[in-house]
Amino acid sequence: MKNNFGSKASFLLLCFLLITNYLYSSRAQQCRPSGRIEGKKPPPGQCNQENDSDCCKQGKMYTTYECSPQVTTHTKAYLTLNSFEKDGDGGGPSECDNQYHSDDTPVVALSTGWFNHKSRCHKKITIHGNGRSVEAMVVDECDSTMGCDADHDYQPPCPNNIVDASKAVWEALGVPKDNWGGLQITWSE
């Protein structure tokens, strides 16, 4: 009897430890905010609102992230509209090659965690949305760690789940122009 009780207790303890370890590692893989920054009012004419881009608001607190949700075969994301051309709302040249890109080319910027220190530069991703899919090349980072300054065109930090796409991507997905700007999508490598 005693030996049987010890085996059951050991088994239950092992199960408890395995479940605890699983739950801890699952939580550790979740992306949590890394901080907050306070918005500054942009100097006159310094926030480009092409494509309905937001400008930082004085005193508003903006959440920052150093991570993005885990990449899967169908990573859920939010598609936004960005100009990668000189003087466009994307700000300066693209992070991957220090160049500007035509809005007629299917290119994207990924949130900081997915951009992953340039590891996805010039790689193609497939974007699925509106019942269609399109391949686009990663050329830039949608910075989730900083914002509200001249380097970021006085725009807030990106959320951690953004695929910021050129007009060519929106056209290829067949989204009517009056609906451009925000769309739930999935993407894959």
Alpha-carbon separation of residue 107 from 1, 118, 146 (angstroms): 69, 15, 22
Three-state SS letters, 45-94 = CCCCCHHHCCCCCCCCEEEECCCCCCCCCCEEEEEEECCCCCCCCCCCCC
Domains and CATH numbers, the chain: 35-188 (2.40.40.10)
pLDDT digits (tens, 9 = 90+) for 41-74: 888 888 877 777 789 999 999 999 999 999 999 9
Greater model confidence, 19 or 86:
86
Tokens of 71: 């990449």
Provide the pLDDT for residue 91. 72
Where b means 16+ CB within 10 Å and e means fewer, 60-83 reads eebebbebbbebeeebebbbbbbb
On the question of pLDDT at 12 being above 60, the answer is: no
User: In the numeric block, which tokens belong to residue 178?
Assistant: 């009056």
